Structure 1
Amino acid sequence: MSRKNGGGSNDDHNQDNLEMKGLMDALTKRDLEIKTFCENAQKEIKETGKIADDTKGALELLAKSGTEMQERLTALEQKGARRGKSQAQAKSWGQSVVDTESFKSMADGRLGRTGRIEVKAITSADDSAGNLVVTERLPGIIAQPDRVATVRDLIMPGRTLSNAIEYVKETGFVNNAAPQVEGQRKAESSLSFELATSNVRTIAHWIPATKQILDDAPQLASYIDGRLRYGLTYVEEEQLLLGDGTGQNILGLIPQATAYNTALNMAGDTRVDAIRHAILQVRLAEYRASGIVLHPTDWERIELTKTDDNAYVFANPTTGAQPRLWGLPVVETTAMPEGQMMVGAFNMAAQIFDRENTTVEVSTEDRDNFINNMVTVRAEERLAMAVYRPESFVVGAFPDTTDPTAGA
């Protein structure tokens, strides 16, 4: 059987493409099913005050199946990225740009001076930030520190072909259910709903570079891999958490979340206790919490908690296990305000809709680029986020944040 570039047969390649198409179609179908079930859930809450068990179970099953399909799709995309590279080396995110026909045509001066390339889920290889080729200089760039953006990983993924997502959102529930005396007027509860719209927003930025970069593929790959993609994910995470919804901002999770119920606090509570109270608050809103978001400083204080004999309670300095608390994954990010916590049903109560994956454009036709021998490299993405049940996200300050001497 003939093989190309050591990456597998043509039959294997075609089979993977068919499977990827099937998975993308299945994910699209699943998103429509989730939307239908969420609408049914809102109706059930309005009619009965709670979500039916079968509806809740179906939503959980859809969320789980979607995660499994997404993982399989990512694995296939990564496999495709490895195919064709010698010694099974993955093609970098930036190298995938310079290897396209659009880029090669522009670099050779053929058919115009603008190239547009959409990049989909390609893992970074070891050489994704290649050394700059500069005479009489040390190779490489001393990069600014990067912040790992992981809030997106907690939220249910989705796709859209529209410029806006419209959905029904519950805005309030007053539960006056109580034992009743026959023959007397029964207690009245109330539910409030509103039609919500989440507009697709664009996150983008650009950098100038000399024209010689067109002849220096590793340097272009370094530009794209090292800064542009990171810049998008950095701002995306801040938008998902803190966006105020004004102008072109996404309406983030924190502005829509329910305030932490401080009445749950008890004397002697620690930060760990407060997080458990918040988990209960989410559970009472009919969903189960799936994640915790903290500022790194607050997570450190929790991890450094010790017993009277100086043993760590929540951390083992010799292991690198994923941060978890009360059985839930902990995302530590500097986008989260210090001294506050956020607990939520990220996997069911909110959803990200990607309209356009990260797209890169390189052009000389920008202002006076031509006469200055410059090019412009631009990266952008388009997405929207819908929060179906704000009560299932709880945010608030730790009870000891006003006392800097208090323990974790």
Structure 2
Amino acid sequence: MNQVKNFGEDIAKKMQAGGQVTEELKQKADAGLTQMNELKGLFDELKERQTELEQKSTRRGQEEPTEFKSAGQLIITDEAMKGFNSSSRNSVRVQMDRKALMNVPATVGAGVSSGNSLVPADRRPGIITPPEHRLSMRDLLAPGQTGANSVEYAQETGFTNNAATVAEGAAKPYSSITFNLKTANIRTIAHLFKASRQLLDDAPALQSYIDARARYGLRLVEDRQFLMGDGTGQNLLGIMPQAIEFVAPIVIANATAIDRMRLALLQAVLAEFPSSGFVLNPIDWVGIELTKDNEGRYIIAQPVNGIGPRLWGLPVAETIAMPQNNFLAGAFDLGAQIFDRMDVEVLISTENDKDFENNLVSIRAEQRTGLAVYRPEAFVTGLVTPA
């Protein structure tokens, strides 16, 4: 950036002084711009990976479990046992905490009772987490906030352009624009968990893990709602049901999946909303990445030094929320917007009577959000490989 800035200042000074910009300086400026753009792409990838690592570290929890000692170990390591051996003739009294002797941590495996301290479980550190799919829709769409339970917006539904050259004194032609008032309702996404109070008190890392999983569950449903919600009941109206069907603007013989993606971009451009990315099922994206030419060379993939999924210069979001053999291309940053009424909230309570009696806690996670699709023509959907 500093190099590009210096080149720009040199060019500006020479132009102000009436001088000529040399071809060498112009080439250096162009080379600097190219390098800066390449580094920006690399920086974006590193930033994405850093976010992913931060999310994983949050889920793992920060506490290492304390080592559990059997009764024999407690006796042997007691202060009073120091210097005591087989030749000793005196008696030694060892005092131990009953809790330390009798209680096994509440998180040990099944089959070990709380009093079976002589056969403790071999507790592995950390929590074995189930797989998570990579969320994407919120990263693609424009963010927004609202303080109401619905968002109204005017959507253009028709435009007849009759603009023309007009002779002096002649009547000017009328054009027409029609609008339709749309409403994006704010919906609540929520779920509950039950846990014992002792479990959360004795394992703070587990509470942190439950909190992270609760948030993930909401984001998972949100991702599918933004993409596939049908607008019925309490569902959001997602992008896919409103997107226009893919119709190739030009005919390409033996069109491949890669060709169809490019034709979808053309269709969006003709709707005057150039696309900013693709959404694909991971299986379909792998099929595209592994496409080879007649000599066995990869067309898209760069197995050694790839910098992230991209196709025709645009990012590709992989999500299992997208049905297989379907794609979505569109201007995500301009054609639609998220409206958050309430961000993700996780609450822990014992106010329920049964919870109080049974020493349980209720964990509730919820959020309120909506989606406004301003221009459906900005999104194109179709089959990756036609039937």
TM class by shorter chain equals 0.5 to 0.7
Partner of 1:260: 246
Q: Which runs of 5+ in 2 are unaligned?
A: 1-43, 66-104, 109-120
Any idea what SS the aligned residue of 2:334 has? helix
Q: 1:394 aligns with which of 370, 380, 387?
A: 380
Structure 2 residue 218 is the aligned partner of structure 1 residue 285: no
CA distance in 1, matches of 2:359, 2:339: 39
Q: 1:295 aligns with which of 281, 296, 300?
A: 281
Partner of 1:128: 61
When residues 249 and 207 of structure 1 are mapped into structure 2, their CA distance, relative to the original with a 3 A threshold, is same
Q: Which moved more, 1:244-253 or 1:169-178?
A: 169-178
Partner of 2:210: 223
Any idea what SS the aligned residue of 2:195 has? strand
CA distance in 1, matches of 2:143, 2:219: 15
Shift of 1:387: 0.8
When residues 265 and 151 of structure 1 are mapped into structure 2, their CA distance, relative to the original with a 3 A threshold, is farther
Asked whether the equivalents of residues 157 and 353 of structure 1 are also in contact (C-alpha less than 8 Å), the reply is yes
CA distance in 1, matches of 2:134, 2:173: 50
Amino acid at match of 1:128: G
Shift of 1:263: 5.4
CA distance in 1, matches of 2:220, 2:59: 21
When residues 178 and 272 of structure 1 are mapped into structure 2, their CA distance, relative to the original with a 3 A threshold, is farther
Partner of 1:148: 134
Structure 2 residue 189 is the aligned partner of structure 1 residue 200: no
Partner of 1:159: 145
Any idea what SS the aligned residue of 1:207 has? strand
Any idea what SS the aligned residue of 2:287 has? helix
Q: 1:270 aligns with which of 228, 253, 256?
A: 256
Any idea what SS the aligned residue of 2:321 has? coil
Q: Which runs of 5+ in 1 are unaligned?
A: 1-70, 79-89, 94-122, 403-408
Partner of 1:354: 340
Structure 2 residue 291 is the aligned partner of structure 1 residue 305: yes
CA distance in 1, matches of 2:327, 2:172: 39
When residues 255 and 176 of structure 1 are mapped into structure 2, their CA distance, relative to the original with a 3 A threshold, is farther
Amino acid at match of 1:325: L
When residues 129 and 143 of structure 1 are mapped into structure 2, their CA distance, relative to the original with a 3 A threshold, is farther
When residues 236 and 129 of structure 1 are mapped into structure 2, their CA distance, relative to the original with a 3 A threshold, is farther
Partner of 1:241: 227
Partner of 1:377: 363
Asked whether the equivalents of residues 162 and 355 of structure 1 are also in contact (C-alpha less than 8 Å), the reply is yes
Partner of 2:314: 328
Residue deviations 1:190-247, cap 9 Å, x none?
Answer: 644210011111111111001113413111011112x211111111100000001111
When residues 284 and 149 of structure 1 are mapped into structure 2, their CA distance, relative to the original with a 3 A threshold, is same
When residues 314 and 187 of structure 1 are mapped into structure 2, their CA distance, relative to the original with a 3 A threshold, is farther
CA distance in 1, matches of 2:371, 2:62: 31
Shift of 1:354: 1.2
CA distance in 1, matches of 2:122, 2:185: 47
Question: Looking at CA atoms only, which structure, 1 or 2, has the larger radius of gyration?
Answer: 2
Amino acid at match of 1:200: I
Q: 2:123 aligns with which of 128, 138, 142?
A: 138
Shift of 1:170: 2.1
Asked whether the equivalents of residues 330 and 378 of structure 2 are also in contact (C-alpha less than 8 Å), the reply is yes
Any idea what SS the aligned residue of 2:189 has? strand
Shift of 1:167: 0.3
Shift of 1:350: 0.7
Identity of aligned residues (%): 46
Any idea what SS the aligned residue of 1:224 has? helix
**Count of aligned residue pairs for this structure pair:** 284
CA distance in 1, matches of 2:197, 2:301: 51
Asked whether the equivalents of residues 60 and 127 of structure 2 are also in contact (C-alpha less than 8 Å), the reply is no
Shift of 1:320: 4.4
Partner of 2:352: 366
CA distance in 2, matches of 1:259, 1:217: 50
Amino acid at match of 2:334: M
Amino acid at match of 1:203: I
Q: Which moved more, 1:151-160 or 1:365-374?
A: 365-374
Q: TM-score, structure 1 length as denominator?
A: 0.63
Asked whether the equivalents of residues 130 and 219 of structure 1 are also in contact (C-alpha less than 8 Å), the reply is no
Q: Where does 1:40-79 land on structure 2 (aligned, <5 Å)?
A: none
Amino acid at match of 1:151: M
Shift of 1:380: 0.9
Shift of 1:172: 4.0
Residue deviations 1:276-322, cap 9 Å, x none?
Answer: 11111111111211010011111011100112221111111123411
Q: TM-score, structure 2 length as denominator?
A: 0.66
CA distance in 2, matches of 1:347, 1:176: 30
CA distance in 2, matches of 1:379, 1:335: 21
Amino acid at match of 2:316: V
When residues 193 and 270 of structure 1 are mapped into structure 2, their CA distance, relative to the original with a 3 A threshold, is same
When residues 401 and 261 of structure 1 are mapped into structure 2, their CA distance, relative to the original with a 3 A threshold, is closer
CA distance in 1, matches of 2:225, 2:149: 18
Asked whether the equivalents of residues 131 and 222 of structure 1 are also in contact (C-alpha less than 8 Å), the reply is no
